[in-house]
A and B are shown apart, each in its own frame.
Chain A
């Protein structure tokens, strides 16, 4: 690891100013589970490291039946995975968080870091897409909100401007008759990266499936929504095996995977179909129960 200067600001504004001042040479430190590995491997060589650890208010989960769920950017994956409300109402998020690394890693890794790192394979990203997350962004100049669909611009890149910091994620309230699931395909059952991740969420209205969201990870330059497949599920009632199969094919067609050392594009496309079918079915089952 190369030498670097270390800052521990206590306000978002202070952190933002430092980030803007050393633009391009500074990196934010949240849980450090990506950054520190990169620094050791010298794929990351920041001259300045700005810790978010000492800024009050960035950590924590709050829920209100009226306004919904708020998750601070510094909230640990382990907290998301074990939170009763998230497990019950925002199940895909708990499942996405639970897929990150090992328990030890999840006690360090944060939701803000996972999303800000903007990996196309980020386990929490697909869940955020299907749970309609709004991303709260802070800077020395104030606050703004970006819908999760509009956050990612490419592998490792987002719409964040120099000096901007993700501070929280807000999720609309989810009624009891809603359900969601995240599934991840990998070689090892644990401690592995997704070569395909799929999250689905639905709400039931009088037995009909509405508001279907399907999020795909690791099959395009950014996490994406499978909007064609969502439309198919919303359009037909009841959702039969054939409809699920149609949606699976549509999701598969909308994915834009690459072949890499983990597997081929063809195999990824097949898995997108399988996981779309399974997660939509599970989301419906969960909404019914």
Chain B
């Protein structure tokens, strides 16, 4: 029986489509009350005083908290720079300053309006290129040097006061590469690119429910990506021993990187402790968009040295990550975004300076493709321009520059399971690449574009699972891996079913609960199939070992001569000599069944170690768990009168090592295309001159609908399977690579259609019309 590799239906599908699934917002506890957050209206200000007395007097209000009610600790991912509630300063519009719990959400909101905060407004800093200057008069974190930091940044002569990350790659002789390009008839291609200011925009907004027990222990339910990261954050924010904090992750309605921490849970917990009642908090859509983490932009200055035949001789990149008021998960983006540069192409010289800075905007966090979805934009647009300049087909140009299996990349990492050739070939084939688009006639113009991408999965990391065997021949997997919609529970079910050779209805997943399920790092970085999948195989093997040991005396044979499958423990080579799983259990006097010996609970821990990132050279032999590859192509039609872009056809060829559930991979391909199309073409968080978001709703923040997608017959999902030596069954993750090449594929298609390049995302109709007009004016003038 092989269910791994087959398209079984999602195990959570029926409960979701029938409305039976229990999300955080569905949780109702006895005596539960409701919380709202009072947020900063200013982008940058000192807090002189907070008066909560009027709010406290409002009937129905049960508790009000400010920073004064909390331990004076700073939180963060690697640079601890942020208080749960603003302490002495606010650093972005929407920063939580106080919170209220009341009998109804409406009363809590009224009470929030009654909280009076006295501010001394400070000049705000919004421009990242201003923030990185040494002489910027506005400094967000005066006490930066005193903050606790778990990461070292690159050495600098003098750190700009608002800079919190600096990472370099130094490989080969970049100056020699530029000289060579010029001396030998090649060229230098230098451009500035920007990615957009976008949000995860999950269907389920952020929320949490918190409850305390009489012994001072806290339970928090929250849709999040990691119960253990949440537990550690809650424990630090509230000064509790980790064992006093229990985090339960209910069904999650999407995360995409936006739910790594559960700040709302900590605020609800602080209110709950004061009110002595369970507290629920659910953010409004406006709060969710404007005050949680966003995929804030990168600015890239990229300069390529190219030989006259299109060979890449060297690449120099300076990038600035537009951070917000606090470093958040963004602290890792200037590092991880650089993984894309050496990931696909042979680069004799690579020079990268990658920075992150504070500005008075929302915190820059994770969003599907963490850094690589951004750095693919300059790289894969450059490749398209280089191809045109050299008069080489863009697919061929890329092929000519690809790495080869086993080669060390520009960061000294040997490439393994390198599948870029195959992804590119299959994508081009699906796009009918050699055939130009049929032209419908003015004002519509059609064109095709293609791009390549890669996405690391981070390390070091670890996953543990437990596998309990029940007396009815059913198998219970306890995991802290979170199914955010990506299908993790379905794939883990398939693995357990295969390992035990039983039907999938014999498998039950016990979902994340830190009181029950063992450690798993996070549902992020496309890591669950790879890491939790491996841990699950290990715990299955451990359970099988125990079962063989229990069965051996009964079958009078050495445990090593036994095998487990299909509900039987049998003698290898003699499947008729067996004992049924049910018979490992004995009937007790009171007619209950217990295991013959001990509980059969298999345990498995999968760990990936990593060589540390050297922030001054970027050289690291094993800086990641694996590198995934993919290519995407788009055919678009562009209206030159209005700038409107329609995506007619989309092909996504991704390498997953082994497709555990091909339908799941197809859904990732389609979902990624949808998200990537939205990010490339439409989505754009807008702010006024005071730093207030002006489109914090789904009318004006434009996520695509089904109508913006190509017709399903023109959506092509291509699965490439180049097995990874460490992946379970050879598998790698699929969750992020599907949005990495999307933006440049679309930008290149637009260029192919109408001959204009838009350097800053999103590629809006207005920008396209403007560029088209300028191009017309230039060509008629010449």
Contact = CB atoms under 8 A, between A and B. Distances in A.
Interface string B705-722: 101100000000000000
B674 to A, nearest CB: 13
Instruction: Give the size category of A's interface with B.
Output: 20 to 34
A103 interface: no
A188 B766 contact: no
Given A185-B642, A261-B694, A271-B642, A192 B766 contact: no
Contacts of B707: 188-190
A191 B705 contact: yes
A3 B682 CA distance: 37
Contact of A2 (B106, B644, B682, B702): B106
Given A271-B642, A274-B641, A261 B708 contact: no
Contacts of A264: 766
B700 A261 contact: yes
Interface string A250-284: 00000000000111100100110010000000000
Contacts of A190: 705, 707
Interface in A158-196: 185, 187-193
A1 interface: yes
Nearest to A187: B702
A224 to B, nearest CB: 21
Nearest to A1: B106
A84 interface: no
A267 B708 contact: no
Nearest to B695: A261
Contacts of B641: 270, 274
19 contacts: A1-B106, A3-B106, A42-B109, A185-B644, A187-B765, A188-B682, A188-B705, A188-B708, A189-B705, A189-B707, A193-B700, A261-B694, A262-B700, A263-B764, A267-B766, A267-B769, A270-B641, A270-B769, A274-B642
Interface in B676-731: 682, 686, 694-695, 699-700, 702, 704-705, 707-708
A193 B642 contact: no
A192 B702 contact: yes
Nearest to B109: A42
Nearest to A277: B641
B702 A41 contact: no
B764 A187 contact: yes
A191 B700 CA distance: 10
Given A1-B106, A274-B642, 10 more contacts: A2-B106, A185-B642, A187-B682, A187-B702, A261-B686, A261-B695, A261-B700, A263-B764, A267-B770, A274-B641
A271 B644 CA distance: 11
B286 interface: yes
Contacts of B764: 187, 263
Nearest to B766: A267
A163 B671 CA distance: 51
Interface in A1-20: 1-3
A193 B699 contact: yes
Given A2-B106, A263-B766, A267-B769, A41 B286 contact: yes
A189 B706 CA distance: 10
What secondary structure prevails in chain A residues at the interface with B?
loop
Interface of A: 1-3, 41-42, 185, 187-193, 261-264, 267, 270-271, 274
Interface of B: 106, 109, 286, 641-642, 644, 682, 686, 694-695, 699-700, 702, 704-705, 707-708, 764-766, 769-770
Contacts of B770: 267
A193 B698 CA distance: 11
Q: Which 9 A-B pairs have the closest CB atoms?
A: A267-B766, A189-B707, A274-B641, A261-B686, A190-B707, A261-B694, A263-B766, A187-B702, A188-B702
What secondary structure prevails in chain B residues at the interface with A?
loop
A237 B359 CA distance: 61
Nearest to B113: A42
Nearest to B443: A274
A102 B659 CA distance: 37
B204 to A, nearest CB: 18
Contacts of A267: 765-766, 769-770
Contacts of A262: 700
Nearest to A260: B694
A190 to B, nearest CB: 5
A250 to B, nearest CB: 17
A191 B765 CA distance: 17
Contacts of B644: 185
A270 B772 CA distance: 13
A39 to B, nearest CB: 11
A3 B708 CA distance: 39
B681 to A, nearest CB: 8
A77 B707 CA distance: 20
Contacts of A1: 106
Contacts of B769: 267, 270
Contacts of B766: 263-264, 267
A284 to B, nearest CB: 19
A115 B641 CA distance: 30
Contacts of A261: 686, 694-695, 700
Nearest to B644: A185
A187 B678 CA distance: 11
A222 to B, nearest CB: 21
Nearest to A273: B641
A261 B694 CA distance: 8
B694 to A, nearest CB: 5
Contacts of B700: 193, 261-262
Contacts of B705: 188-191
A42 B286 CA distance: 12
A16 to B, nearest CB: 30
Contacts of A185: 642, 644
A133 B309 CA distance: 67
A187 B708 CA distance: 10
Nearest to B698: A191
A215 B171 CA distance: 63
A192 B703 CA distance: 11
**Which of B644, B686, B702, B766 is the most central at the interface, judged by chain A CB atoms within 10 Å of its CB?**
B766
Contacts of A193: 699-700
Nearest to B700: A261
Contacts of B109: 42
B440 to A, nearest CB: 15
A271 B708 CA distance: 20
A75 to B, nearest CB: 24
A120 to B, nearest CB: 15
Contacts of A192: 699, 702
Contacts of A3: 106
A88 to B, nearest CB: 26
Contacts of A263: 764, 766
A274 B702 CA distance: 23
Nearest to A3: B106
Contacts of A270: 641, 769
Contacts of B694: 261
A41 B289 CA distance: 14
A42 B109 CA distance: 11
A160 B346 CA distance: 71
A213 B241 CA distance: 74
**Which of B106, B109, B694, B699 is the most central at the interface, judged by chain A CB atoms within 10 Å of its CB?**
B699
B708 A189 contact: yes
Nearest to A267: B766
A262 B694 CA distance: 10
Contacts of A189: 705, 707-708
Contacts of B695: 261
A1 B707 CA distance: 32
Nearest to B697: A41
A274 B705 CA distance: 25
**Which of A3, A42, A267, A274 is the most central at the interface, judged by chain B CB atoms within 10 Å of its CB?**
A267
Contacts of B286: 41
B41 to A, nearest CB: 15
Contacts of B682: 187-188
A270 B702 CA distance: 22
Contacts of B686: 261
